[in-house]
A and B are shown apart, each in its own frame.
Chain A
Amino acid sequence: MTDPFDLFDVEPAYDLDLGELERRHRNLSRALHPDRYAGRPAAERRQALGRSIEVNDAWRVLRDPVRRAEALLARLGAPASENQSPPTDEELLMEMLELREELSTARQKHDPEAVIRVSGKVRQRQARLSDRMAADFRAALDQKAESVEGRDRFDTLLQQLAELRYYRKFLEDAAVVEDELY
């Protein structure tokens, strides 16, 4: 499969302009969506379907911060599967535990406001993390990963990705709880 950044012809970076991305997606869809090929021969329709799928898959990757980071790491030469992430920060684990407890309490007390509050806290952390990741990815993409400095950056990026995954999982679970409580 073509690299999603290449397919959309965007400069590989963590901080992408999502609005621009959406417009590019729409334009590519205009050209490739199977509906455009409704009257055409089957071979063309199949190709259009295949390419459409590729475009939509690439868009999913680029839109999702976790998968975007994974794609960038892949470009840098470090396939980031969950088994390969470095041991997690003790401090982060403790903080996540506390936040989870807060969520659990909110659920037991049937307090949707509290769920929203704790989700808000996690979102804030996520935003700060995103800023750090944007800067670090930019630096890493600007230089080769073989240098010593580069390898350090790798570890940092992998750690950041792990942290991002924690936040993401938390927000997904909080959404389920919020749904329950309404």
Chain B
Amino acid sequence: MLLDIFDPKAPPKAIGIDLGTTHSIVAHVVDGRPQALVSCDGTPLLPSVVHFGDHGNVMVGNAARAHSTRCPERTISSAKRFMGRGARDAETQRLGAYRFVEPKSEDDAKVVRFDLGSRNVTPVEVSAEILKSLHQSAVDQLHSVGGAVITVPAYFDDAQRQATKDAGRLAGLQVLRLLNEPTAAALAYGLESRKNGLFAVYDLGGGTFDITILVLDEGVFQVRSTGGDSALGGDDMDRALAEKMLVIMDCEAAETQTPEIVSIALGAARQVKHQLSEVREVAVELPRRGGDTAEFRVTRAEFEALIDPLLARTGKACRRALRDAELDPGQIDGVILVGGATRVPRVRQYVAEVFGREALADIDPDLVVAYGAALQADLLATSSDDILLLDVLPLSLGIETMGGAVDKVLPRNTTIPVGAKSVFTTYADNQTGFDIHVVQGERELAKDCRSLARFLLKGIPPMVAGMARLEVSFHVDENNLLEVTAKELTTGMEQRVEVKPSYGLSDEEIEDMLIDAIDHGDEDFEARRLAETCVEASRMALATDKALRSDADLLGPPELERVEAVLLELRAQIEASSDAARIQMLMHELDDATKAWAGRRMNRAIRAAIAGKDVAAIADSVSDAAGVEAHLEAHGALTGRDE
């Protein structure tokens, strides 16, 4: 490889991060090809394990794992399972080696907290440590790191996604995008093969299962349907074995299952599981309560019988996803396997049974998601025209109605970004407030769905019951994150909406954590804030410059003057690097000054993308088929990887 000469003027590299249940990986794109970076452990795969030492030190990866048997309560692995979950969720109660803080109130129960003895820590903070480590590895190897694309299971709900975004923020990353893991995998394979067709991504990771059906057509990856189980994965295989082992260890009773014992059993189970992929029978010595040891023996056939019920659950999700996509298994052109658990021979066999064909596994199933994330990060950073990912809403969004039923506002598998409106009215005279409960899930009753947020619409003008028209708008963006706004229509006023998320950390809590983290380091909080503001402002100035070079003709003379004036002052302020507030203000002003122009440029972009129609005609119109084909052909021939 040629000497990697660091060019200080080169734009910062964008990175992709697979924040996995068992392992996390950071990757970037070099010469159009994805490459995994080396973690602090010296290998690409960083165990998603974090150890919190007694003296406030934090260890990530193998170093942390070394502590898992000695002090399991201070060593957190599989934090991903707990992201976005409350203290009372079913998942929180399952077999695990952690101690949890008993919540003091309903509010407190919104976030699960690990009890480390001298301190508590949330899953978001744990994940942030992993992200920080990967970020540091990237900085060490790339010198200048820009934004990051972080992957999440396709089946993650809004709470779990927000938690991931929060973790990124806490780690000091600029999160460019949250990307669904199966889509990332498809991107990695699709860009490899460049073949159009229908693909199924069967993603069985440590803690989650996702099935996604996609179509790749002329550079557009479109998700048709998605399904899965956010509480089913390779870890469950370990658990099934561990439960058998605990019997041999004479620790069937719950009181005997101390965190240390459970940790030993899970560790042994994981080893056995891996070995059974190579040999047909495994025997292992396990410590028994009382001091001696006992032999645990298991055959591959027995293991397969143990995991078949888990695989059946995946089969059910696959069938549902195929039905949602209105496809038969036979119509799928390729099945992509993702996740370490797919190395188990029985899993491959099962997948072949469900889809009637052998799966593709050329790309390392442990790295493929990180590769996809890196590719997407590269596409976003270079504003590439080459590929587009169109994802879907994985779970229906709805509102709780009188009696506890769910009124589905947005059905699952709707292409995002997407919006919907619902109109409500008051049921009592002079009712000035209205309570709305937003839920996510497929069940009929609100209590069986995931609670996302409660709204209190206040300040409704007093009226006769049934007269008020309260319009609630839902917007789901490209990250699959939900935003809700409300308007009272009869008066035309946007009323105050107070959103109380039912889960997760508030902005204040995160700010506090950030300040806390800085306190433990040497950084000045204000300095960091200023630096971040300058970076954002520089980006904006650069983008505006770029736009002026191509589309200045769409600006009227007074507009152009204004934009140039604001831009000049913004640049001066960035140079001076002292007044964060003033820079923010200038960014808002630039935003304002370029709004109308942005609309005109968008129209131009539409016309460029869909050739053929008369410029005077409606901007958002599409030409006839021949025109589109010709355009795409010409477009394909011109696109290259060089800037």
Contacts and interface: CB of A to CB of B under 8 A. Distances in A.
A35 B415 contact: no
A30 B383 contact: no
- Give the 9 A-B CB pairs with smallest separation, nearest first: A9-B621, A31-B609, A44-B598, A38-B380, A31-B606, A53-B419, A24-B622, A43-B595, A34-B478
Nearest to A33: B388
Given A6-B618, A31-B608, A175-B323, A39 B383 contact: yes
Interface stretch (A56-64, A87-95, A101-109): A56-64
A27 interface: yes
Interface in B255-294: none
Chain B, interface residues (CB within 8 Å), range: 35 or more
A9 to B, nearest CB: 4
A41 B417 contact: no
A47 interface: yes
Interface string B599-643: 101100110111001000010111001001000000000000000
A33 B220 CA distance: 11
A122 interface: no
Contact of A33 (B478, B543, B594, B622): B478
Contacts of B605: 31-32, 36
A31 B618 CA distance: 15
Interface string A15-42: 0000010011011111111111011111
Interface string A50-77: 0111111101100000000000000000
Interface in B471-499: 475, 477-478
A38 B590 contact: no
B223 to A, nearest CB: 12
Given A28-B622, A40-B383, 14 more contacts: A27-B610, A31-B602, A31-B606, A33-B478, A38-B177, A38-B381, A39-B542, A40-B543, A43-B591, A51-B620, A53-B417, A57-B418, A179-B320, A182-B316
Given A31-B605, A31-B609, A39-B381, A8 B622 contact: yes
A159 to B, nearest CB: 26
A97 interface: no
B591 A41 contact: yes
Interface of A: 2, 6-9, 20, 23-24, 26-36, 38-44, 47-49, 51-57, 59-60, 175, 178-179, 182
Nearest to A178: B323
B530 interface: no
Contacts of B475: 49, 53
Contact of A26 (B222, B602, B606): B222
Contacts of A27: 609-610, 622, 628
B419 A57 contact: yes
A31 to B, nearest CB: 4
B307 interface: no
A7 B591 CA distance: 27
Interface in B391-447: 414-420
Contact of B417 (A28, A34, A38): A34
Main secondary structure of the interface of A (DSSP, over half): helix
Given A60-B414, A175-B323, A47 B602 contact: yes
Given A39-B543, A41-B598, A43-B595, A56 B388 contact: no
Contacts of A2: 620
A41 B543 CA distance: 6
A56 B480 CA distance: 14
B379 interface: yes
Given A27-B609, A32-B606, A43-B598, A38 B319 contact: no
**Most-contacted residue by chain A among B385, B388, B602, B628 (CB, 10 A):** B602
B161 to A, nearest CB: 16
B298 interface: no
Given A24-B622, A47-B598, A42 B591 contact: yes
A28 B218 CA distance: 14
Given A53-B419, A56-B416, A35 B620 contact: no
Interface string B570-614: 000000000000000001001110110011011001101110010
B593 to A, nearest CB: 9
Contact of B594 (A6, A29, A43): A43
Contact of B383 (A36, A53, A55, A59): A36
A44 B478 CA distance: 15
**Most-contacted residue by chain B among A8, A44, A59, A179 (CB, 10 A):** A44
Contacts of B152: none
A27 B388 CA distance: 10
Given A9-B618, A31-B610, A34-B477, A60 B418 contact: yes
